[in-house]
C-alpha cells in the first residue's frame, strides 16, 4: 500500500485525501485507491449505525464539491439550480445509503 504526500496550498493548509471515498460493510472509509483513510467507529445504535455514519463520512468530498459549485455560481450571478441538482442529489444519496452511480 503506497501513500502519496499531499502538498499544502499557499496558506499552509494540507488538503484532504482526494475523493471519491467509499465505506465498506464494517465502516472503513476507503480512498479511490482502496487505502483505508478512516473508520466510522462504534456507534450507540450498533454496527448498522456505524456503517451509516461511514456512508456520511465517505460522501464528504462529493458534498463539499457540490457546495463549492453552488457557492462559486452564487458569487458570479444567479444560480442555475438545475445544473447543480444532479451532483447534489447523488451526494445526498451517497451520504444516506452509500449508493454511488
Q: Is residue 12 assigned to a domain?
A: no
Residue 7, all three cell numbers: 502538498
Q: Is residue 53 assigned to a domain?
A: yes
Q: Is residue 36 assigned to a domain?
A: yes
Distance CA 32, CA 76 (A): 32
pLDDT for position 95: 85
pLDDT tens column, 26-41: 899 999 999 999 999 8
Residue 92 domain boundaries:
22-97
Q: Is residue 4 assigned to a domain?
A: no
The tally of domains found in the chain comes to 1
Q: Is residue 14 assigned to a domain?
A: no
For residues 52 and 80, the answer to whether their CB atoms sit within 8 Å is no
Q: Is residue 45 assigned to a domain?
A: yes
Please state whether the predicted TM-score (pTM) of the whole model is above 0.85: no
Q: Is residue 2 assigned to a domain?
A: no
Amino acid at each position: 500500500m503506497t501513500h502519496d504526500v499531499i502538498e499544502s496550498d499557499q496558506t499552509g493548509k494540507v488538503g484532504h485525501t482526494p475523493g471519491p471515498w467509499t465505506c465498506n460493510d464494517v465502516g472503513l472509509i476507503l480512498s479511490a485507491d482502496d487505502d483505508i483513510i478512516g473508520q466510522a467507529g462504534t456507534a450507540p445504535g450498533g454496527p448498522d449505525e456505524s456503517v451509516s455514519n461511514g456512508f456520511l463520512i465517505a460522501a464528504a468530498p462529493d458534498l463539499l464539491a457540490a457546495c463549492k459549485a453552488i457557492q462559486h455560481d452564487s458569487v458570479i450571478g444567479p444560480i442555475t439550480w438545475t445544473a447543480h441538482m444532479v451532483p447534489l442529489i447523488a451526494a445526498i444519496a451517497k451520504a444516506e445509503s452509500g449508493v454511488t452511480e
